[in-house]
Chains A and B, each alone.
Chain A
Amino acid sequence: MSWEVVIGLEIHTQLATQSKIFSGASTAYGAEPNTQACLVDLGYPGVLPVLNEDVVRMAAMFGLAVNASVAPRSVFARKNYFYPDLPKGYQISQYELPIVEHGELFITAADGNEKRIGITRAHLEEDAGKSTHEGLGSFSGIDLNRAGTPLLEIVSEPDLRSAKEAVAYMRKIHSIVRYLGISDGNMQEGSFRCDANVSMRPRGQQEFGTRTELKNLNSFRFVEKAINFEIERQIDVIEDGGEVVQETRLYDANKDETRPMRSKEEANDYRYFPDPDLLPVEIDAAYVEALRETLPELPDAKRHRFIDDYGIRADDADILTASRALGDFYEEVVAATAGEPQGVANFVVGDFMGALNKAGLGIEESPVSAAALAGLLDRIKDQTISGKIAKEVFEAMWSGEGSADEIIAAKGLKQITDSSAIEAIVDKVIEANPGQVAEYKAGKEKLIGYFVGQVMKETGGKANPGQVNQVLKQKLS
């Protein structure tokens, strides 16, 4: 039988506020345990939550970015359960009335077409603290620095039909929240996490199968691997005559498998009710409209503009618009150089991003500025250097040896375009390789590459490759 997977994602994205959602404590990552938890975060007797206005703005911006409705009235509820990292014994979370509903975004499906993915809702909630078990013997440690960190939980419709689509959707959300500047999207630090609901059904069937919820998916790679594992597992269960059990399963990246969490953790009745300490959040239309004016250009719009205005390839446009900073960098280079936009895209996507990745740097930390890079690309354009020499110059720029022009001058890398000079070297090479010349003339034309290589070797790579080719062909004919 042919099976179809149905996937919905719940993405928790940490909002990039200075302080927590209901207290003034800092949200900075990596502090000593329990140094960024105030009395409100600790759930002390008598303290009360006060909503951080910034989270409302950020959630509303997200709503606008995914073409959703921003609710004029949303309500915080209490989700009641006991756990040591949950100081109040309840988590404050929007339940029946979330701030964002009925959104959508588009991903590129396997067939290359755009596919619409519905966003059911996005709601605000506070994060819990963290339990640690290392180095404490039979005890557990509780770090409440994270308690009260603002989260936006983004829930998709069950519109995703493969692990690849799930990843594409997650990447798109990741890109949007970073464009909006509402989250740093840092997955190592847990600022962007995902749970996946996965079920199988015979292809063509309308109703959904029984789903499992996969937790602990904190990288794009794990999302893909966990879902694919789960697809195989569920098919095996069904084809062996069994039934998929509705349960929460943890993904274990080390073993690349999912396994059920203890059922006790599933049996909670959370006893949701509206939090009487907080008033409903009321947002008027004027606020939403004013906010709409502040929205930056979003990834899809930018991607289309890059393709239309710069004429670059779609796959390059995808990469260059994945982050706002990279797109801005690309545009800065294009504006500053006489080089062709596609050529700029090639260099930025290739050498430049390669260098960043290798050094583990963000674009803001790049030692080569957009203006400096434009200076280098100008020299390719005016044929001062070849593309190959440009790589060498770029490496030197990366190491801080100066501007492209300074490095070209200092290292004598200026391309040889004087045809008499090139002819002299070509003559020398032909003279030194009589055997190869004979073979070439006998029809082994691919030896042309060998001769080009020899000329380049003689000139330290500085000869204009086009000219070399032309002269060689002329002289060997």
Chain B
Amino acid sequence: MAAELHQRTLSELAAGLEAGDFSSVELTEALLARVADHDGELNAFITVTAEQALAAARAADEARAAGNAGVLGGLPLVHKDIFCTRDVLTTCGSRMLENFVSPYNATVVDRLAGAGAVILGKTNMDEFAMGSSNETSYYGPVRNPWHLEYSPGGSSGGSAAAVAARLAPAATGTDTGGSIRQPAALTGTVGLKPTYGRVSRYGMIAFASSLDQAGVITRSSADAALLLGVMAGFDERDSTSIDHPVPDYTAALSESLDGLRIGVVKQHFDDGLDAATGAAVREALAVLEANGAKLVDVDLPNIDLSVPTYYVVAPAECSSNLSRFDGVRFGHRADNPEDLFDLYCRSRGEGFGAEVKRRIMTGTYALSAGYYDAYYLKAQQVRHLIADDFKSAFEKVDLIAGPTSPTPAFRLGDKVDDPITMYLNDIYTVGANLAGLPGVSTPCGFVDGLPVGLHLVGPHWGEEVLIRCAHNYEQLTDWHRACPEDFS
């Protein structure tokens, strides 16, 4: 007997729709029913777009009947609530945008819809993508399907939880310092962050423009390859998107591990790494080595500076990016302002949460006259050094492998009052953002019943090598198929 629809991966569902085993409407209804049943405990969704989803599913079924099915014809997805969706609430996890119905679609949203995808809803996230636990969301924390008292990670926590709990086969996410890969690791899903410039940022509400990149959270690397092929490509509305050919990412799935040179960075296995998590990652490396890959020690001498560098650059950019939320044209506006200054202060004071304020203040400080050189400029210089380290490493290896996150999922509430500890969640992931490199996290085991992620980083435009490696690993193990018991 075939698996229940919600247990199937995106690629399996695509095959089923193509074979006529079920319709998109049936699939969409089944998943919407699951969302209705389970999201109460998970809080993965901020908005469920049932009506639009069913309409899109009907349209996809009709298109298929007419022989015009798109690449993703009738396949359900969810969008992180950072992507602007026309006529649908787009909150970015913030009270500031509690009432913001976007008048336009993000390019990512348009491209996926254009390929026939059906959008089930918008997922919860850390406010303005600032957080690593989903606890900064104005709409409450998302719970980890593997243990409801635990965080699913963040900031794309809602997307990760929805995919892990089989409420949706795939989700979009964004990754500024690890916001796709860390929640993927913590929920036992696959998270792919492409090369900076690979996917358009147009319509993706900016946190830190030079670091933000859209990607996907899925149940397999094959699914990630399928979606990336649709999302990727130059967009004339985003000057930082790059006009670089989009390959057929699914072609990489048929290549073996033979001859693949995998870099292992000693700094990635330092004292900050949880021992059991480290063991799971080493085990994964051993599997890759045993199946044709070659492990090579590489050094990233400046990688230890990546978290402090990131926490200057990202807040600096966010302090400016978030200035547009001023209560004047859209979003939250304070009641009865006394004057303009009061309107600004109270609208922003009420609309933003503590973590967002912390970063705006940190970033404003870093850009201020007299501090700019010591902080922002210095951080940009270190950023170049880090990028150069990666460049040198990729002269010797095809990709770099290590842990995605220093620990498995942590309890909700455990780190929320300790920002520095929280920021260290990004220690293995931020380097890729600072250097603009693609990265993927794929499940590689469990520690005390909580998933662990294997993190792969490639050179610029190295998505194919990441997909090839992760896919081979997934074929050799079954970690990515594990399903949280309560959501089977």
Q: B56 interface residue, CB < 8 Å from A?
A: no
User: In the assembly, what is the distance between CA of A223 and CA of B83, in Å?
Assistant: 49
Listed stretches A5-13, A87-95, A364-372; interface member: A87-95
Task: Encode A32-61 as 1/0 by CB contact (under 8 A) with B.
Answer: 000000010011111111110000000000
- 12 A-B pairs whose Cβ atoms sit less than 8 Å apart in the complex: A44-B324, A45-B90, A45-B325, A51-B239, A84-B328, A87-B328, A87-B329, A89-B326, A90-B320, A271-B364, A271-B368, A279-B240
Question: Given the complex, which residues of A lie within 8 Å of B364, measured CB to CB?
Answer: 271
Given A45-B205, A47-B202, A87-B324, A278 and B239 contact (CB-CB distance below 8 Å): yes
With both beta carbons as reference points, the residue of chain B lying nearest to A264 in the complex is identified as B341
Q: B2 interface residue, CB < 8 Å from A?
A: no
Contact of A78 among B97, B238, B320 (CB under 8 A): B320
User: In the assembly, what is the distance between CA of A45 and CA of B207, in Å?
Assistant: 10
With both beta carbons as reference points, the residue of chain A lying nearest to B328 in the complex is identified as A84
User: For chain B, which range describes its interface: under 10, 10 to 19, 20 to 34, or 35 or more residues?
Assistant: 35 or more
**CB–CB A80/B320 < 8 A:** yes
Number of cross-chain contacts by CB at 8 Å: 98
Given A84-B340, A87-B324, A44 and B317 contact (CB-CB distance below 8 Å): no
Q: B248 interface residue, CB < 8 Å from A?
A: no
Task: Encode B76-118 as 1/0 by CB contact (under 8 A) with A.
Answer: 0000000110000010100001001011101000000000000
Question: Given the complex, which residues of B lie within 8 Å of A45, measured CB to CB?
Answer: 84, 90, 92, 97, 100, 102, 205-206, 324-325, 330-331
CB distance from B403 to the nearest CB of A (A): 29
Question: Given the complex, which residues of B lie within 8 Å of A431, measured CB to CB?
Answer: none
User: In the assembly, what is the distance between CA of A193 and CA of B147, in Å?
Assistant: 64
Q: A3 interface residue, CB < 8 Å from B?
A: no
Question: Given the complex, which residues of B lie within 8 Å of A396, measured CB to CB?
Answer: none
CB distance from A393 to the nearest CB of B (A): 58
Extra contacts besides A48-B201, A142-B328 (6): CB < 8 Å: A44-B104, A45-B102, A48-B238, A87-B324, A89-B322, A89-B323
**CB–CB A49/B324 < 8 A:** no
**CB–CB B240/A89 < 8 A:** no
CB distance from A79 to the nearest CB of B (A): 10
Q: A29 interface residue, CB < 8 Å from B?
A: no
User: In the assembly, what is the distance between CA of A117 and CA of B364, in Å?
Assistant: 39
CB distance from A102 to the nearest CB of B (A): 25
User: In the assembly, what is the distance between CA of A44 and CA of B237, in Å?
Assistant: 14
Q: Name the prevailing secondary structure of the B interface residues.
A: loop
Q: A434 interface residue, CB < 8 Å from B?
A: no
**CB–CB A50/B237 < 8 A:** yes
Question: Given the complex, which residues of A lie within 8 Å of B344, measured CB to CB?
Answer: 82
**CB–CB A277/B239 < 8 A:** yes
Q: B367 interface residue, CB < 8 Å from A?
A: yes
**CB–CB A48/B202 < 8 A:** yes
Q: A30 interface residue, CB < 8 Å from B?
A: no
Chain A 51-88 interface residues, beta-carbon cutoff 8 Å to B: 51, 78, 80, 82, 84, 87-88
User: In the assembly, what is the distance between CA of A89 and CA of B322, in Å?
Assistant: 8
Contact of B326 among A82, A273, A277 (CB under 8 A): A82
Contact of A80 among B97, B208, B325, B367 (CB under 8 A): B367
Q: Which 5 A-B pairs have the closest CB atoms?
A: A89-B323, A276-B209, A276-B210, A271-B367, A43-B324
Q: A269 interface residue, CB < 8 Å from B?
A: yes
Task: Encode B314-352 as 1/0 by CB contact (under 8 A) with A.
Answer: 001101101111101111000000001000100000000
With both beta carbons as reference points, the residue of chain B lying nearest to A138 in the complex is identified as B339
With both beta carbons as reference points, the residue of chain B lying nearest to A279 in the complex is identified as B239
User: In the assembly, what is the distance between CA of A50 and CA of B202, in Å?
Assistant: 11
Most chain B beta carbons < 10 A, residue from A46, A80, A142, A276: A46
Question: Given the complex, which residues of A lie within 8 Å of B236, measured CB to CB?
Answer: 50
CB distance from B85 to the nearest CB of A (A): 10
CB distance from B465 to the nearest CB of A (A): 26
CB distance from B312 to the nearest CB of A (A): 11
Task: Encode A327-362 as 1/0 by CB contact (under 8 A) with B.
Answer: 000000000000000000000000000000000000
Chain B 45-71 interface residues, beta-carbon cutoff 8 Å to A: none
Q: B146 interface residue, CB < 8 Å from A?
A: no
Chain A 261-284 interface residues, beta-carbon cutoff 8 Å to B: 269, 271-273, 276-279
With both beta carbons as reference points, the residue of chain A lying nearest to B90 in the complex is identified as A45
User: In the assembly, what is the distance between CA of A134 and CA of B251, in Å?
Assistant: 64
Task: Encode B231-270 as 1/0 by CB contact (under 8 A) with A.
Answer: 0000011111000000000000000000000000000000
Question: Given the complex, which residues of B lie within 8 Å of A50, measured CB to CB?
Answer: 236-239
**CB–CB B324/A89 < 8 A:** yes
Q: B19 interface residue, CB < 8 Å from A?
A: no
Q: B376 interface residue, CB < 8 Å from A?
A: yes
By a beta-carbon cutoff of 8 Å, the part of chain A in contact with chain B is 39, 42-51, 78, 80, 82, 84, 87-90, 142, 269, 271-273, 276-279
Question: Given the complex, which residues of A lie within 8 Å of B240, measured CB to CB?
Answer: 48, 276-279
Question: Given the complex, which residues of B lie within 8 Å of A48, measured CB to CB?
Answer: 201-202, 237-240
User: In the assembly, what is the distance between CA of A185 and CA of B209, in Å?
Assistant: 36
CB distance from B79 to the nearest CB of A (A): 12
Most chain B beta carbons < 10 A, residue from A142, A271, A277: A271
Question: Given the complex, which residues of B lie within 8 Å of A47, measured CB to CB?
Answer: 202-203
Chain B 351-372 interface residues, beta-carbon cutoff 8 Å to A: 364, 367-369, 372
CB distance from A345 to the nearest CB of B (A): 50
**CB–CB B239/A82 < 8 A:** no
User: In the assembly, what is the distance between CA of A26 and CA of B364, in Å?
Assistant: 34
Q: B204 interface residue, CB < 8 Å from A?
A: yes
**CB–CB A273/B204 < 8 A:** no
User: In the assembly, what is the distance between CA of A274 and CA of B238, in Å?
Assistant: 16
Given A276-B209, A279-B239, A39 and B323 contact (CB-CB distance below 8 Å): no
**CB–CB B206/A39 < 8 A:** no
Question: Given the complex, which residues of B lie within 8 Å of A46, measured CB to CB?
Answer: 83-84, 102, 106, 202-206
Question: Given the complex, which residues of A lie within 8 Å of B317, measured CB to CB?
Answer: 276
User: In the assembly, what is the distance between CA of A148 and CA of B324, in Å?
Assistant: 15
CB distance from B341 to the nearest CB of A (A): 9
Question: Given the complex, which residues of B lie within 8 Å of A89, measured CB to CB?
Answer: 320, 322-324, 326
Most chain B beta carbons < 10 A, residue from A44, A50, A90, A278: A44
Question: Given the complex, which residues of B lie within 8 Å of A84, measured CB to CB?
Answer: 326, 328, 340
User: In the assembly, what is the distance between CA of A44 and CA of B206, in Å?
Assistant: 11
CB distance from A278 to the nearest CB of B (A): 5
CB distance from B395 to the nearest CB of A (A): 26
Given A46-B203, A90-B320, A278-B239, A269 and B369 contact (CB-CB distance below 8 Å): yes
Chain B 278-327 interface residues, beta-carbon cutoff 8 Å to A: 316-317, 319-320, 322-326
Question: Given the complex, which residues of B lie within 8 Å of A278, measured CB to CB?
Answer: 239-240
Question: Given the complex, which residues of A lie within 8 Å of B201, measured CB to CB?
Answer: 48
User: In the assembly, what is the distance between CA of A211 and CA of B90, in Å?
Assistant: 49
User: In the assembly, what is the distance between CA of A90 and CA of B206, in Å?
Assistant: 14
User: In the assembly, what is the distance between CA of A80 and CA of B206, in Å?
Assistant: 16
User: In the assembly, what is the distance between CA of A129 and CA of B419, in Å?
Assistant: 39
**CB–CB B323/A88 < 8 A:** yes
Question: Given the complex, which residues of B lie within 8 Å of A271, measured CB to CB?
Answer: 319-320, 364, 367-369, 372
User: In the assembly, what is the distance between CA of A276 and CA of B376, in Å?
Assistant: 13
With both beta carbons as reference points, the residue of chain A lying nearest to B100 in the complex is identified as A45
Contact of A273 among B205, B206, B316, B323 (CB under 8 A): B316
**CB–CB B202/A43 < 8 A:** no
Question: Given the complex, which residues of A lie within 8 Å of B322, measured CB to CB?
Answer: 89
User: In the assembly, what is the distance between CA of A90 and CA of B237, in Å?
Assistant: 19
User: In the assembly, what is the distance between CA of A271 and CA of B376, in Å?
Assistant: 11
User: In the assembly, what is the distance between CA of A44 and CA of B340, in Å?
Assistant: 20
Given A45-B102, A46-B106, A87-B329, A80 and B323 contact (CB-CB distance below 8 Å): yes
With both beta carbons as reference points, the residue of chain A lying nearest to B317 in the complex is identified as A276
**CB–CB A44/B323 < 8 A:** no
CB distance from B362 to the nearest CB of A (A): 13
Contact of A49 among B90, B208, B239, B316 (CB under 8 A): B239
With both beta carbons as reference points, the residue of chain A lying nearest to B322 in the complex is identified as A89
Most chain A beta carbons < 10 A, residue from B103, B324, B325, B372: B324
Question: Given the complex, which residues of A lie within 8 Å of B208, measured CB to CB?
Answer: 276
User: In the assembly, what is the distance between CA of A78 and CA of B319, in Å?
Assistant: 11
User: In the assembly, what is the distance between CA of A51 and CA of B208, in Å?
Assistant: 20
Question: Given the complex, which residues of A lie within 8 Å of B330, measured CB to CB?
Answer: 44-45
